[in-house]
Amino acid sequence: LTRVFFPYNPHKHLNEKIKNTLLDNIKRDTPQEKLDDLLEWTKQIKLIKEHKKKLKKFPIGMVFSLSTIRHHALFWLTIVLNLIVIFSLRAPMKSSNNDQFCSNVLNGTCNSTSPMYFQPIRSPDAPSWYMPVLYILGSIHLLLSIWMAVCYFVKNGKNVHYYSIPFIQSFCYQKKKGLLRRRLLYQIMSKLNQLICCGKISANKPHPKEYFQIIFFSFDPLYRLLFLIFSVAGLAFNGYFYCGCMIYPFIKNSVMSFILRALRKS
């Protein structure tokens, strides 16, 4: 046995997210394939590290390194805003001046059977402090949401694929594969395809998800955009839409990640 010395820097290590990604996605069919795939993964990890170093060199690069503080602030602020909405808003009380909205009054009351009957939509009853608090906390929530969405797409910009939708690709592959089995129909459709736009119809199997690839139409990118939309809508419409932000506290939860991983594998 001979001693082998590997260059090692104790200050550089893989975070738990990258470790879990490697464990979940590395190919294990043969020892050689496992080794080759591990080398490819490490190359991609190196590129990601270099991309992060470049971001830190920018004047505002410090913003991208404060993701933990931003996550905890957004986590608690989302919960607090939803609790304020739940316990502060009340259904509006019936007022006695409804008749001013009614054009057909019968025996001193509004005739609801009349086609001209109009019941106004009232704003919810809320304490006097509700709107100022909502605007202050909602504005902070909106700024943190913009920060979160921008950081996600800047950090993962090179890995995001905007043109591939796995479900549609798989559906088209199955349909083309079925078309190839029907020779006469395939010849007719292939001729039409050549005349209209492209060449012959071919059923190419969709490529599997590769190293740190993120599909734009998958959950993570789309939910961050929806989260930003819900934050804007919550600030604009009395806080109702903050309920759409309540998935965020569970995104980085370790128990939820284990459940999702088990569901994907099954």
Q: Which has more pLDDT, 139 or 123? A: 139
Neighbouring residues of 160: CB distance < 8 A, sequence distance ≥ 6: 153, 214, 215, 216, 221
Is the pLDDT at 141 greater than 90? The verdict is yes
38: pLDDT confidence band, cut at 50, 70 and 90?
confident
pLDDT above 50 for 96:
no
Whole-model pTM: value is 0.64
Parallel, antiparallel, or unpaired for β 105-106 and 109-110?
antiparallel
What is the per-residue pLDDT for 80? Answer: 93
pLDDT top residue among 204 and 206: 204
Number of neighbours of residue 164 by Cβ within 10 angstroms: 15
pLDDT at 133: 92
Read off the pLDDT of residues 218-250 as tens digits, 9 standing for 90 and up: 778 888 899 999 999 999 888 889 988 888 877
pLDDT at 99: 45
pLDDT category at 144 given cuts 50, 70, 90 is very high
206 falls in which pLDDT band (50, 70, 90)?
Answer: very low
The torsion angle over the Cα atoms of residues 112, 115, 116 and 121, rounded to 10 degrees, is: 60
Nearest of 104, 221, 91, 94 to residue 162 by alpha carbon: 221
DSSP 92: P
| pLDDT, averaged across the chain | 74
**How much is the average pLDDT of 16-32?**
80
Nearest to 139 by CA among 231, 66, 227: 231
pLDDT band per the 50, 70, 90 thresholds, residue 37: confident
The residue behind tokens 């910009």 is 157
Q: What does the pLDDT read at residue 155?
A: 81
239: left (phi over 0), alpha (psi -120 to 50) or beta: left
Of the ranges 20-24, 49-53, 70-74, 153-157, the best mean pLDDT one: 70-74
* pLDDT higher than threshold 70 for residue 47: yes
Exposure string (b/e) for 24-45, b if CB count within 10 Å is 16 or more?
A: eeeeeeeeeeeeebeeebeebb
Distance in angstroms (rounded) separating the CA atoms of residues 42 and 3: 24
CB 147 within 8 A of CB 84: no
